[in-house]
Structure 1
Amino acid sequence: MKLLLFTGVSLWSLASARSSASVVQTGSISTPAGTVEITKEEQCACRELRASFAKNVILPGQANYTEQTKDYYWDVRADLSPACVFVPETADAVASAIEIFSSCNAQFAVRGGGHMNYPGSNNIDGGVLVALSSLNSYTVNKDSIDVGPGLNWYNVYTALESHGRVAIGGRMKTIGVPGLTLIGGFHYFNNKYGYAMDNVLSYDVVLGNGTQVTAAKDSHPDLFWALKGGANNYGVVTKFTLKTYSVPKVTSTIQMFNESAFPQFFDAMCHSAMVDEEDPTAAGMIATVSYNVTTKVASASLLGVQEGVSMPPSKFANFSSIPATMRINNVTTMGQWSSELDSPKQMFRVMFSHKTMKPDSETILSIYKAWKAAVEQISDVEGLYPTFVLNEITPSSLRVANTNGVGNVWGLKAEPLMIWQFSTGWALSQDDLRVEAWSQQLTERLHAINQEKGIASEFVYMGDAGGWQDPFVGFPAENVNRMRDIRAAYDPSKTFSRLNWGGFKLGM
């Protein structure tokens, strides 16, 4: 049974519509949405790139332009119209491109897997799109793997499968390696091995002046630390070396629950987050509630994975004791499991909003009820697909960074937290502002209640954040100041804050 996932929800149909931009005209691009102006700076960059890398530059109207500017993107809202697309095949080519952007003073965007879901985070209107899809090589080592930023996590898991090893990366197959790794990285095995960022042994980075460096524990250690959750504030990573672990088999569980079981479901989630073991069995989940605005029926799903062949998987005993409408356990491999979990691209316009709190099942139930009632306010929005998602942060998952001699930019104490998230899909651009305002206002109102209760955390995870949210507010102030100092040292011309503005950027 193949599952199509929308932030952890099972979907059973796929419909997408795509359109392509027309050929570039002088100073502008004509698109179905109107005309996008191209400045002389971006014209300069496209011209210089074509002079050096003619076969790697795609202009509007040429073959593959639509594929690179739309088809690679998860969220329809990310479909923009760059002046040209550059598809480098080597790290040296990336370095040359960054030098060109700097000399031309041209705006640019960088795309890995294309999963970050707000406009401008990994695409651009009128600027240059650097598409990393051709940097897709890998090398399997004894206890690590070198991967290019053009790979997704399914590529990584299948590359390691014959070796009986796994890397700590994304939970859905189409998520790209670079974005998830640079913002933190939720995986099923966080509770034992930490986050994706905690498992990077080295980064090959192109800096804002075109210089290439390798950041590791004993080479540019300040940059090495800053890249662990610091997003795209420092350069373009052209290779990640990831630690791997011997996990030849995993046990999976798929469980579905009706609304009467939600109090027990939320109890089990909070209990899982609060478990604190020194040497835990690696296990984790995607936990989601979906609500059908037509039938008014809500259901919860648990997609869990545990290392080893325990059948049923012991770490999900609290969920397995709840009456379920469906329960399937299976012994498989990480590659086989991830092959069944698709997150369809170009299916929706998608808005994320979330906050974090100390685990409290009664409060989570009240948040769910408030969200369900609020969904009715926008139930007339065409194509509305609302979901309520929970992600646990366990003490043991945070202890990895606190004890490995490197740390990460999150700087969180080893204590349990729960991320509660609203993921909202819809069909038409005319509803963008309405859905965004609804999601932001509801999120902030419920977070304010948690602040009054004293159970709110200000931590915001970039991978589940709305474009309006500021993740850096939840980092320790000393970490943010250190990140700014590192940015000033490695990107003094501010290439990655002045010319590359997409994604979550440090303030000045």
Structure 2
Amino acid sequence: MEDINSAQSGTAVETLAQQFPNTVLKPGSPRYEEENSRFWNRDNADIRPSAIVTPSDAQETASILKTLSDTKTDFAIRSGGYMPVPGYNTSSSILISTTHLNSIELVQGNLVRFGAGNQWGSVYDFLEPHGLVVPGGRSRPVGVGGFLLYGGVSHFYAEVGWACEAVVEFEVALASGDVVVASEKENGELYWALKGGGKNFGIVTAFTMKTRGLPKMWGGVRVAVGARETAGKVFEAMHDGIQGDVDEKAHVEVISFFVPQMCQSGDPMFALCLAYAGEVERPEALRGFLDIEAVQDGTRIATQRELADDDKQNIGYDKRGLFRAFSYRSNSQLTLDIYTEYYTLAKQSGMFDEDAGAMAALLWLPAGRKLSSGTSAISLGEEAEPYLSCNICFRWEKPEASKKMHAVADAIAEKLKKKVQDSGAFIPFTYGNIAGVEDTTFEGLPGKTRKRLREVAARYDPQGVFQKQVPGFNLV
């Protein structure tokens, strides 16, 4: 089978090289090596595609797709390169990189249109002089493509819901070689499916999103030592923030991490990433987090761009990494138990003996009512209750440690998921942008949603190119 795949990719590379000589990059060329370095997980950069293809517009993207469909050649798609799942945004066959799809412009006054090759930092650089913001990634290096196609969590999640809810139009290259626009008025079913449905329908080459005027807001990162008492306060504040009457201007992302050299007390650290959509110092809605003693406090009045520029754990593209994740509904005590058991298991696993500079992190996404019950393809239903998505993240440097790290993470993830399942709090759906290959994503959605997504895929990709030839979270 490998020989067949290799022959197919070789045929496709030569065909594409004749059609688009300036677009196909082959191993050894400087542009190839530069493109193949753009992965958050260095394990993905170790994969060497037969060719990297960098289309310059939607029609060229569609023509490339038609060739790959006709030759039944496997390929992967990459926007910002942030997805750490091994092989999900690269391939030993052909990689389509959206790097050159990087235009940004204001349209119709209050809408912004940008190519799929942008990172959020570029979008914010463009919008800041206009005093505008958009519900995008919370860190500058995150790519726009995968972020929006799997939902996207922004500083405005409590008000907007998934960031994709603010997309008013997708430009999409299909495997048929056609380019279509998906919006409420045109290809409406595809428009709905792309708001969370991932890579399963085509390659989105451009997004048009709603903006809002917000020259400055309050936010930043507060760092605290994660002793058990402090952790209890953090989780009480986090659970309170998605229950009852929620201030929709408030945002929180709770990140905990343990690096032996940095955490010499033996306790993990917390990075409490806070924001409030207004120039309000110490917003009341976030008082539970602000009352926690911090060893470092970076909160201030700032622009969206400045908040995205803040240093956050795990953002550098210089290490290896992985994700595992699960979702649940419960209380702060269960979350504290998950936190305690996670770091106990990580320390006992030998991962820090394998790589002394390794990091184990645990992150929580508080999925309030707007995220759980919105109109996108990853809504859990109109009556869905708020929940938490919990993300396991490892980072390390040594390539020889990768096998050990994945084995440890998988073992810990299964133990924590069983703990949640035994408590009756488990939710099968996992947000794709924080999930690992073993986690449930689309299969955790309501049955009627899965059926509708499959029907849309069958209509716009009748040959199943994006189910059969493209790695990633497929529809089931």
**TM-score normalised over the length of structure 2:** 0.93
Q: For residues 98 and 324 of structure 1, do their structure 2 counterparts lie closer, same or farther at Cα, with a shift above 3 Å needed?
A: same
| Residue 42 (str. 1) matches residue 12 (str. 2) | no
Q: Quote the residue 2:447 is aligned against.
A: 477
Residues 391-448 of structure 1, C-alpha deviation per residue, up to 9 Å, x if partnerless? 101114445x24xxxx423334442211222111123343333322222222222222
Given that residues 155 and 275 in structure 2 are in contact (C-alpha distance below 8 angstroms), is that contact kept between their aligned partners in structure 1? yes
Within 2, Cα distance between the matches of 1:164 and 1:188? 16
Q: Quote the residue 2:368 is aligned against.
A: 394
Q: Aligned letter for 2:377?
A: N
Which of 441, 455, 475 does residue 411 from structure 2 map onto?
A: 441
Q: Quote the residue 1:130 is aligned against.
A: 96
Within 1, Cα distance between the matches of 2:51 and 2:208? 30
| Residue 308 (str. 1) matches residue 278 (str. 2) | yes
Q: Quote the residue 1:271 is aligned against.
A: 240
Q: Aligned letter for 1:157?
A: Y
Given that residues 200 and 474 in structure 2 are in contact (C-alpha distance below 8 angstroms), is that contact kept between their aligned partners in structure 1? yes
Unaligned runs of 5+ in 1: 1-27, 29-35
Within 2, Cα distance between the matches of 1:344 and 1:252? 18
Alignment of 1:102-117 (within 5 A): 102-117=69-84
Q: Quote the residue 2:200 is aligned against.
A: 233
Q: Aligned letter for 1:93?
A: E
Given that residues 359 and 416 in structure 1 are in contact (C-alpha distance below 8 angstroms), is that contact kept between their aligned partners in structure 2? no
Q: Quote the residue 1:8 is aligned against.
A: none
Within 1, Cα distance between the matches of 2:221 and 2:400? 36
Alignment of 1:329-408 (within 5 A): 329-341=299-311, 344-376=315-347, 377-378=349-350, 379-382=352-355, 383-399=357-373, 401-402=374-375, 407-408=376-377
Unaligned runs of 5+ in 2: none
SS of residue in 2 equivalent to 1:274:
coil
Q: Aligned letter for 2:271?
A: S
SS of residue in 1 equivalent to 2:234:
helix
Q: Quote the residue 2:392 is aligned against.
A: 422
Q: Quote the residue 1:197 is aligned against.
A: 164
Quote how far apart the aligned CAs of 1:323 are: 2.2
Quote how far apart the aligned CAs of 1:38 are: 6.6
Moved more, 98-107 or 342-351: 342-351
Q: Quote the residue 2:25 is aligned against.
A: 58
SS of residue in 1 equivalent to 2:30:
coil
| Residue 68 (str. 1) matches residue 44 (str. 2) | no
Q: For residues 171 and 37 of structure 1, do their structure 2 counterparts lie closer, same or farther at Cα, with a shift above 3 Å needed?
A: farther
Q: For residues 416 and 248 of structure 1, do their structure 2 counterparts lie closer, same or farther at Cα, with a shift above 3 Å needed?
A: same
* Identity, % of aligned positions: 26
Q: Quote the residue 1:21 is aligned against.
A: none
Alignment of 1:231-270 (within 5 A): 231-260=198-227, 261-270=230-239
Q: Aligned letter for 2:346?
A: V
| Residue 455 (str. 1) matches residue 428 (str. 2) | no
Within 1, Cα distance between the matches of 2:245 and 2:436? 30
| Residue 81 (str. 1) matches residue 48 (str. 2) | yes
Quote how far apart the aligned CAs of 1:345 are: 4.3
Residues 286-318 of structure 1, C-alpha deviation per residue, up to 9 Å, x if partnerless? 211111335323211112111111012333111
Within 1, Cα distance between the matches of 2:393 and 2:420? 20
Given that residues 274 and 359 in structure 1 are in contact (C-alpha distance below 8 angstroms), is that contact kept between their aligned partners in structure 2? no
CA RMSD of aligned residues (A): 1.9
Given that residues 273 and 359 in structure 1 are in contact (C-alpha distance below 8 angstroms), is that contact kept between their aligned partners in structure 2? no
Moved more, 204-213 or 413-422: 413-422
Report the count of equivalent residues: 463
Given that residues 192 and 397 in structure 1 are in contact (C-alpha distance below 8 angstroms), is that contact kept between their aligned partners in structure 2? no
Residues 28-51 of structure 1, C-alpha deviation per residue, up to 9 Å, x if partnerless? 9xxxxxxx9972211121111111
Within 2, Cα distance between the matches of 1:414 and 1:38? 44
Q: Aligned letter for 1:387?
A: A
Q: Quote the residue 1:466 is aligned against.
A: 436
Q: Aligned letter for 1:319?
A: F
Given that residues 167 and 208 in structure 2 are in contact (C-alpha distance below 8 angstroms), is that contact kept between their aligned partners in structure 1? yes
**TM-score normalised over the length of structure 1:** 0.87
Q: Aligned letter for 2:282?
A: P
Q: Aligned letter for 2:50?
A: A
Within 2, Cα distance between the matches of 1:288 and 1:247? 26
Q: Quote the residue 1:411 is aligned against.
A: 380
Q: Quote the residue 1:431 is aligned against.
A: 401
Q: For residues 72 and 178 of structure 1, do their structure 2 counterparts lie closer, same or farther at Cα, with a shift above 3 Å needed?
A: same
SS of residue in 2 equivalent to 1:54:
coil
Quote how far apart the aligned CAs of 1:275 are: 4.1
Within 1, Cα distance between the matches of 2:378 and 2:287? 34
Residues 266-292 of structure 1, C-alpha deviation per residue, up to 9 Å, x if partnerless? 111111122434xx4422122111113
Given that residues 140 and 159 in structure 1 are in contact (C-alpha distance below 8 angstroms), is that contact kept between their aligned partners in structure 2? no
Q: Aligned letter for 1:308?
A: G
